[in-house]
Structure 1
């Protein structure tokens, strides 16, 4: 059972009204297995370690890598680098639209394209159909854009429409059609460090027009310049880097440019704890590791990672040492860039709930429990669950929750945030003793000697406090000593708590229907969709009176903003609620930036509801675990629930429930289970 603080962080507001049941999770580490689903829709523990480069042909050469007489795609890398690994822009032939869309829709799309070729600009659209599965939608968007760069994909969930991209038509009037197509493929690929060169153009005035167009339409993504080569002049376009890197020596640059990807399987370890150990063993910084998402501690988890400045050979040599600490590395290979946080589709869960029993004094029979499970799983499979942030987001089990630390940071109270960070748990374990000693003495050096080696974050903070002091400046340096992803975790935890309270208030006061002023995904209008995530830059629409009366939107389309400096708030009672809630914590004038710590919180939009996909479950007698003893089948099959399940002594075996399902990124399996079982876990 959870502590009171956890119950506050996750309000007791449910979506369905089934009875639920009791049970326990995470009795064993193997009862909770989390496998990351990468951006291509594959589970990372089954994905191929290396794909054949898209540019490779049967003779080992690439048509896309050959020089063209008029325009080219180039990469600013060593000549010896593989031309195809992780950097090649896929050719349109890489996607078979007849497979992705079906033959009839593919032919209809080809006909639609022909009608656009010779016509003036038009707003004509073609529907490609409805695609409920997010992975399928992403594949459709990617395939259509690569095959027809002059088309814009428009999402009206779950429907996808296509229309002509006006930016493409404008560019094709300035350069050749082939150049326009290749440029749009270059923009769509977003390959780090790549550049695109248009054909020779000795007309300065014309080059100026092209420069201005590219700056106006794509200035945030690219930078352009004209260069002279062998008596001709051409325009080169390069993707902008994030920030301006400092100058490095050739030797440093070669080392910095090494990236090695791998799949990490860890048991009973926090992601950051695992990273800290690997970093120390490899002689690099924790910040040299990048990952798509944080995974549970008390679980077996599989996730993708990339480490900088470490070769694949060196990582393989350390694999045996890491395995002794509960970390198994697989699929080790060289890549061209780090991972980005959020660069995943979601997670697959394999869960076991043990010791099932009804709520209250209900008859504890197998038949009764089977009926309760069937109803509960069916409701959540059909309707979803309230998309709360789970207790892990707030530092479950800590005396001081992470959201309180985040609030202090947002108020720029560095000393207060440090002291909250070092609030000890009850008990006399070494970590709590070290924290207690620091709060009582302000002696960071002595506290560091007491702090267990496994507590990487605490030790990083104490080292900085020992060096810079425990005043405001020293505490600021202590926070800066943590990786950015760790620093930003705490303000995010605060914003997550506010979001949890907001969704509970929204459902309690406005009910389960869509109301005027609610925020939803934009139903109409073009929306360019990035490969990584359809909703990475959502177009937000405010529900009107008429739309509320006509029931245009469903509750599953409603969003609530995560507080930040770029979001808009609902234009109904919820907008005022957010302002009052932030003011109550002294954040009515908060800019959601902590410049001293290089933190910026733009905010985001999170759906009220989440729905598990590919959900399967099975009931078994606990005594028969590992083979036989099946009581029920998956949720999509009707089952006869008639069996008594008694032992020779006349007592019933306890039942265990196994569940398998997928969730989108940032959705919590514990919250899904909470909705199914109707209890805090």
Structure 2
């Protein structure tokens, strides 16, 4: 994908509040490098169970393949995330793979399936003859469609084994089915087992042979400690990179990959084999001393905190490959310590993070939100379906739609895992590509998703506003500023009676501090600053064609009251540690080169609605 130049410019133009130099480093090298734990109202860390299943499948028990529509209320806002659910021996894969509480009961406490030592013959003993036969027919039908290059149209086909009350039998069946049919996944819900196609298996078959894909998924499901899986040797570096990327993206929480060249290779490009192994269990090796929780207890719960219960989040982050900024010759360790202490004491600009806007995309979420606010429904649909500069099925389908506006034809091209796109297209096929038809199409999304795009626009304007405010007045609190009165009000939930307009006398007396200053997030129930910042808001609204906007879109049942957000925030309970890591690189003929790199292990708490990446941006003075 081409670099998102507009996005880079947008964030690089935002200001900093501290004046240290900063440093460079790599964030999110692996999922374990960026750990988030919720903090409840009492300030306790709450280690929640993995998120609930994305698709709510509650079919009546029977023995016939069927299709179930996904519940769009539970879909992530992140573009491009895979909406399927894969369960491998009770262990989640990458970030998008989740397992619900009702499914965890099918798994032994140590994360291995009870049926792990059983053979696929269990299918014959646990399933009646007809169910077993229908399961085999379902599996064969999936393989035939894939082998014939036929796309699975509509919702993903499913096969229900019905309700199986015995937990041990369910665990054995989960493992036995996945061992016999690695191209299928099993989902447990309320004592029912549902079988579906494994789209990750199909995706891997585009990179390696089907034999390798078959064995790889069997290896994943078996989850034998200290075991390894090796793909066939390969001379193509780009191809190996694609395989590395696939495995780490899909299953990075579960396994890790490394490349090893063959020792006896001929001249030219060497044969290099990718080896996969299970990650060591973190509870054995992760030491409390790396990220001190400062004697705070961790509360374990099956449910995420509800609205109003979340006080903030605790972050454990590893930043690797630390380096000085360009043309900075100072001691790196001194730079790092200076940066952390500076932000620890002075705080950071409380920007909305880049992930709120669809980082790396041609069309950002705020652009769609602006079109919705202007009631340009057709334009909003076109923006949503704008393709990236990539040649893959999803973007080919989007390109076809913008060229033809043929919703039915686009549906036949759009992969089934793109649930939101397919829901929109199905509605457009039914109602047409008219203004009214597009309104109906937006109602194929839940309210939370429709309003998300409007909030993204408000967030973008707030980011620009706070940068203008700090650039104009700096850290002084001036006449016309808005400040929050009271310390017990949650961020972004300040009632109007808690927001005060600074007077000339209060400015002269330095009555308020900069951390009390707030700016409005656009909506119909907010007041603007009475200084140059307030004028700036009006000019921006006029620029975007919203000078008469009431921030209500009746046709989509959207009402945006707005709120207030503090312009500065400070991290709490900050602790950090520098660590040298030795990376042994395996070279030709078995030689090794040992290189030491510096990593930063940093831990801190942030209030609700604050972004760790924004805090790190201030620390490192580096745009992500």
1:425 aligns with 2:388: yes
1:390 aligns with 2:353: yes
* Deviating 4+ runs (over 6 angstroms): 293-299, 301-307, 311-314, 318-328, 529-534, 648-651
Counterpart contact for 2:582–2:595, Cα < 8 Å: no
Rounded to whole Å, the distance in 1 between the matches of 2:519 and 2:56 is 38
Report what 2:435 is aligned to: 472
Question: What SS does structure 1 have at the residue aligned with 2:50?
Answer: strand
Rounded to whole Å, the distance in 1 between the matches of 2:605 and 2:97 is 14
Rounded to whole Å, the distance in 1 between the matches of 2:81 and 2:508 is 46
Rounded to whole Å, the distance in 2 between the matches of 1:656 and 1:493 is 34
How far residue 29 of structure 1 moved from its aligned partner, in angstroms, is: 2.4
Report what 2:311 is aligned to: 345
Long gaps (5+) in structure 2:
61-67, 83-93, 103-162, 168-187, 197-219, 222-249, 255-299, 585-590
CA separation of 1:427 and 1:285: change in aligned 2, threshold 3 A:
closer
Pairwise CA RMSD: 4.0
How far residue 452 of structure 1 moved from its aligned partner, in angstroms, is: 2.1
1:277 to 42, 55, 62: 55
Within-5 A mapping of 1:264-413? 264-265=50-51, 276-278=54-56, 286=71, 289=74, 300=95, 315=189, 317=191, 331-332=301-302, 341=307, 343-363=309-329, 368-413=331-376
| 1:350-390 Cα deviation digits (max 9, x unpaired) | 212111110113348xxx11111100000111111000111
Report what 2:19 is aligned to: 17
Give the number of aligned pairs: 419
2:46 to 44, 47, 51: 44
Report what 1:592 is aligned to: 551
Calculate the TM-score normalised by the size of structure 1.
Answer: 0.55
Within-5 A mapping of 1:489-568? 489-522=452-485, 535=494, 539-568=498-527
Rounded to whole Å, the distance in 1 between the matches of 2:387 and 2:5 is 17
Report what 2:224 is aligned to: none
Within-5 A mapping of 1:151-170? none
Report what 2:417 is aligned to: 454
Rounded to whole Å, the distance in 2 between the matches of 1:602 and 1:477 is 24
Report what 1:488 is aligned to: 451
Rounded to whole Å, the distance in 1 between the matches of 2:19 and 2:443 is 47
CA separation of 1:622 and 1:531: change in aligned 2, threshold 3 A:
closer
Counterpart contact for 1:2–1:680, Cα < 8 Å: no
Question: What SS does structure 2 have at the residue aligned with 1:559?
Answer: strand
1:614 aligns with 2:557: no
1:666 to 609, 613, 619: 609
Long gaps (5+) in structure 1:
47-262, 266-273, 626-647
How far residue 449 of structure 1 moved from its aligned partner, in angstroms, is: 2.2
CA separation of 1:431 and 1:504: change in aligned 2, threshold 3 A:
same
1:34 aligns with 2:36: yes
1:5 aligns with 2:9: no
Counterpart contact for 2:36–2:314, Cα < 8 Å: yes
Calculate the TM-score normalised by the size of structure 2.
Answer: 0.60
How far residue 44 of structure 1 moved from its aligned partner, in angstroms, is: 3.2
1:443 aligns with 2:406: yes
CA separation of 1:401 and 1:295: change in aligned 2, threshold 3 A:
closer
Rounded to whole Å, the distance in 2 between the matches of 1:662 and 1:403 is 28
How far residue 286 of structure 1 moved from its aligned partner, in angstroms, is: 2.7
How far residue 36 of structure 1 moved from its aligned partner, in angstroms, is: 2.7
Counterpart contact for 1:35–1:302, Cα < 8 Å: no
How far residue 2 of structure 1 moved from its aligned partner, in angstroms, is: 6.7
| 1:305-341 Cα deviation digits (max 9, x unpaired) | 999xxx999746479989988799x9447xxxx9865
